[in-house]
Structure 1
Amino acid sequence: MRRDDLYITVPSLFRCPISLDVMKSPVSLCTGVTYDRASIQRWLDSGNNTCPATMQVLQSKEFVPNRTLQRLIQIWSDSVARRQLDAESAAANLSVVPSQEQVKVLVKQLDNNCYSSLEKIVSFAKESEENREFLATMDGFLDTVFDFMRNADSDIKLIEQVVKILDLILSKVSEKKPLLESSCLSTILLVLQRGSLDSQIQSVRLLESIAAVGGESKLKLAEKEGLLTELVKSISKDKDPRLIEASLSCLIAITMPKRVKTKLIQFRTIPELKNLISEPNTSVSTIEKSLKLLETLSSCKEGKAEIWHDSVLLQAVVQKVLKVSSKTTEHAVTILWVVCYLFRDEKAQEAVVSSNGMTKFLLLMQSNCSPAVRQMSADLLKIFRVNSKSCLSSYDTKTTHIMPF
């Protein structure tokens, strides 16, 4: 099967009538016709008041997300991606993986026929742990790779190959500081902005590995112009689920310093997290990571303020208590404890009560949850003035030592 064959047949139902591209966010007008959100929004913003397909005058310019069609497009897209991966794997298996001696020659010849040489080195690295260890410790190899990374003007396809190699071997590299250089970060940012989906995911994983170097590395990543903004864009609910999950992990790794938290809040991270938490088809792992990041952002005053002012977000957080997983419950309860108990905001408390939060906290008190979650639930119930005959009467709610941050 040729690679091009994977893209020939696209169901016409999946194409936007305006752009003719596969719809990323299908929405339906009052006429019943479905368009991609970005295309129809541009049409309406241009002053048009008709349905582009039928030319009927619109009685309302409101549109409704077509969730069923979006799910069908996602299923089709995943199927195409799997077929492409199988085809690429089959093609890769037909090629001969170079030996260690051949790799040494390829590294020396990187200035000539670079793309082909890098491709062969990637196949060598994918083959085994031993090969990855060999590349990580090979004299001069990392210097050559870092030189590529410093040249942000290089062809994007070449840079993608370099990112693939680094993604494969970085866990075996002890000296990662060269990647913190501004020129190297610019190259990673370029891949994140313009690369293929796989290379975007690999670049995000690189950033997460760099963040693990230490506190200084987190600040350098946050201070790199455009980097945090691009990572926040990558957690938009319309992005590929794999990219979303990788980006959430990266943001969690970066977001410990207070300065980074403040920047992320300014870049509208919390609304993106609300969208992910509220989306019914979000995976367990993505919900856990979204709530973990939201919990981290709630530990600074700007984060608390934004969360307590958003009753819809608070209700979405309450809905995750005792659902999805124990990690989800722990992160959700901690967020609610911060804004309702520590911060004592009445509006936030009302939003939690209206979402049946009291019942959930009572159930948690009787469940097999962790001591910290049980204690926070007791504190929250006390705030909500549960009467003294309740199950709380046997609990001492001294919490000065239970700071979750």
Structure 2
Amino acid sequence: MVLGWGRRKNNKKNKGGKPNMEVVIPNQFKCPITLDLMKDPVTLSTGITYDRESVERWFDEGNITCPLTNQVVRNFDMIPNHSLRIMIQDWCVENRQNGFERIPTPRIPVSPTDVSELVFRVKECARGLDQYGCVELVQKMEKWSNESGRNKKCIVENGAISGLALAFEAFANDSIERNLIVLEVILSSLNWMFPLQLEAQESLGSKASLHCMVWFLKHQDVKGKEKAIIALKEILSFGDEKHVEALLEIEGVNELLIEFINKRVSPIITKASLRIVWYLVSSNSSFNEKLKFSFVELGLVSSILNILIDSEKSVCEKAYTILDSLLSCDFGREKAYENDLTIPLLVKKILRVSPLTTEYSVSCIWKLCKFEEKNYEGKALIEALQVGAFQKLLLVLQVGCSDETKEKATELLKLMNPYRAELEECIDSDFKNLKRSY
């Protein structure tokens, strides 16, 4: 029995040129939440039927009541309403000429038990180094994930990340070249499952796994490099010193990261490389200063300055975090003094890109002016005045900033003030006459 009707206008015209009548959609075919035609009707324990996607979203948002009756739901099982779904499909077929397509029969959602069993089999294949069996299982997991967002969530929440990470470590520890296919498949699946869980972090952060990822960065195509560097960035984001130390034991890592930053192979690789370098230079490891020296010696200061010239906001912000860290050491400041871009570029970027880059610009200028070595004494202050830093810093104080930035800006103004009368020229440089460092 039709309990109510919804209307849908049909703008198509019949052969006589007159528009067809409005199409009415039975109310029981519509989801009570969205009022759209249901594609996968499911019935709750309260007896009310909803479209699966809509009611799952309702519960994901933290609700525990039935949307229509407001009853507290004790059992969150969703029973497919096959009879209603068949009725909706038949109705769509009957109204095909009015613009309705038959809704496809929905696939049965994957269950936590299905995922757990599959993950168990993946681990078994990894223990036996059965790469072809493992590939088949991971591809099945991929197929599930492509069917719906709900499946993806179920896969992630039921141990898939840790299972795949353990498998990746096992195959990488055996042989990268021999197990290349399965390693590629696992890494590709892991990429959409991030962020990592603690157990998975330990497996992917092992020496064997890190060696494999660096191998990918050296030998794979752009897509393969992207997957590997995203995984590497995810591992280092935990801030675990042993992962930093394990990565730095691999020969050529620093040089590889600098190469990616300079060549800008792809936006994904550039951003991830910058983030990884920041994790490295800002770590609390005992060899932090040595690491900074190594990166500066490889030309990282000039590389960062070149990035700051014309990069988008997110790249600029990542580059600034690294530069600010490098300028905390004497060798980093020395290389910055030697580059003609440094002061004009830092001053130019104040109030230009984002509040974050403004704060880092002030911090970098403060470090260069506050800790000038005897060989460069006064050089940074004078150059900053010449390119309009005094006025920019006053603006920073006027528009508002963090307390730390306010202190640094105020101190810079005091340091510059004695030089103002003779040296300030208020130049707003556009860098046309400045040469890049490469």
TM-score scaled by structure 2?
A: 0.60
Give the CA deviation at 1:95: 11
Give the structure 2 partner of residue 128 of structure 1: 152
Give the CA deviation at 1:378: 1.4
Give the structure 2 partner of residue 65 of structure 1: none
Q: Residue 123 of structure 2 contacts residue 166 of structure 2 at CA under 8 Å; is this kept in 1?
A: no
Give the CA deviation at 1:104: 4.7
Pairing partner for 2:410 from 355, 374, 378: 378
Q: Residue 166 of structure 2 contacts residue 204 of structure 2 at CA under 8 Å; is this kept in 1?
A: no
1:218 aligns with 2:249: no
Q: Residue 273 of structure 1 contacts residue 290 of structure 1 at CA under 8 Å; is this kept in 2?
A: yes
Give the CA deviation at 1:244: 0.9
Q: Residue 247 of structure 2 contacts residue 253 of structure 2 at CA under 8 Å; is this kept in 1?
A: yes
1:333 aligns with 2:356: no
After superposition, what is the alpha-carbon deviation per residue over 1:105-163, rounded to whole angstroms, capped at 9, x for unaligned? 5665543355444333344467423202323477x654332112222223544322222
Q: Structure 1 residues 228 and 333 mapped into 2: Cα distance closer, same or farther (>3 Å)?
A: same
Question: Residue type matched to 1:161 in 2?
Answer: V
Give the CA deviation at 1:352: 1.8
1:262 aligns with 2:293: yes
Give the structure 1 partner of residue 167 of structure 2: 144
Once residues 210 and 228 of structure 2 are traced to their aligned partners in structure 1, the CA distance between those partners, rounded to angstroms, is: 10
Once residues 253 and 410 of structure 2 are traced to their aligned partners in structure 1, the CA distance between those partners, rounded to angstroms, is: 41
Once residues 164 and 370 of structure 2 are traced to their aligned partners in structure 1, the CA distance between those partners, rounded to angstroms, is: 54
Structure 1 unmatched ranges of 5 or more: 1-93, 390-405
Question: Residue type matched to 2:184 in 1?
Answer: E
Give the structure 2 partner of residue 204 of structure 1: 229
Give the structure 1 partner of residue 387 of structure 2: 355
Q: Structure 1 residues 238 and 142 mapped into 2: Cα distance closer, same or farther (>3 Å)?
A: closer
Q: Structure 1 residues 97 and 252 mapped into 2: Cα distance closer, same or farther (>3 Å)?
A: farther
Once residues 331 and 108 of structure 2 are traced to their aligned partners in structure 1, the CA distance between those partners, rounded to angstroms, is: 55
SS of 1:323's equivalent in the other structure is coil
Structure 2 unmatched ranges of 5 or more: 1-105, 283-287, 422-438
Once residues 108 and 281 of structure 2 are traced to their aligned partners in structure 1, the CA distance between those partners, rounded to angstroms, is: 43
Equivalent positions of 1:44-123 (< 5 A) are 99-100=114-115, 101=117, 104-105=120-121, 108=124, 110-112=130-132, 114-123=134-143
Once residues 177 and 153 of structure 2 are traced to their aligned partners in structure 1, the CA distance between those partners, rounded to angstroms, is: 31
Give the structure 1 partner of residue 277 of structure 2: 251
1:189 aligns with 2:214: yes
Once residues 284 and 103 of structure 1 are traced to their aligned partners in structure 2, the CA distance between those partners, rounded to angstroms, is: 40
Once residues 198 and 335 of structure 2 are traced to their aligned partners in structure 1, the CA distance between those partners, rounded to angstroms, is: 40
Q: Residue 122 of structure 2 contacts residue 164 of structure 2 at CA under 8 Å; is this kept in 1?
A: no
- Count residues in correspondence: 293
1:278 aligns with 2:278: no
Once residues 111 and 202 of structure 1 are traced to their aligned partners in structure 2, the CA distance between those partners, rounded to angstroms, is: 19
Question: Residue type matched to 1:148 in 2?
Answer: F
Equivalent positions of 1:303-322 (< 5 A) are 303-322=332-351
After superposition, what is the alpha-carbon deviation per residue over 1:23-81, rounded to whole angstroms, capped at 9, x for unaligned? xxxxxxxxxxxxxxxxxxxxxxxxxxxxxxxxxxxxxxxxxxxxxxxxxxxxxxxxxxx
SS of 2:353's equivalent in the other structure is coil
Pairing partner for 1:159 from 178, 183, 189: 183
Once residues 97 and 387 of structure 1 are traced to their aligned partners in structure 2, the CA distance between those partners, rounded to angstroms, is: 72
After superposition, what is the alpha-carbon deviation per residue over 1:145-200, rounded to whole angstroms, capped at 9, x for unaligned? 21122222235443222222343256124353344443322210111122243432
Q: Structure 1 residues 372 and 149 mapped into 2: Cα distance closer, same or farther (>3 Å)?
A: same
Pairing partner for 2:265 from 234, 239, 248: 239
Once residues 137 and 148 of structure 1 are traced to their aligned partners in structure 2, the CA distance between those partners, rounded to angstroms, is: 15
Pairing partner for 1:324 from 353, 360, 373: 353
SS of 1:364's equivalent in the other structure is helix
Q: Residue 337 of structure 1 contacts residue 380 of structure 1 at CA under 8 Å; is this kept in 2?
A: yes
Q: Residue 208 of structure 1 contacts residue 254 of structure 1 at CA under 8 Å; is this kept in 2?
A: no
What is the RMSD computed on CA atoms of the aligned residues?
3.0
1:230 aligns with 2:256: yes
Give the CA deviation at 1:325: 0.4
Once residues 232 and 252 of structure 1 are traced to their aligned partners in structure 2, the CA distance between those partners, rounded to angstroms, is: 12
Question: Residue type matched to 1:224 in 2?
Answer: I
Equivalent positions of 1:293-308 (< 5 A) are 293-308=322-337
After superposition, what is the alpha-carbon deviation per residue over 1:235-288, rounded to whole angstroms, capped at 9, x for unaligned? 125321222112111211122222322221122212211111012xx1101001
Once residues 323 and 137 of structure 1 are traced to their aligned partners in structure 2, the CA distance between those partners, rounded to angstroms, is: 41
Percent of counterpart pairs with the same letter? Answer: 20
Greater Cα radius of gyration, structure 1 or 2: 2
Once residues 419 and 385 of structure 2 are traced to their aligned partners in structure 1, the CA distance between those partners, rounded to angstroms, is: 15
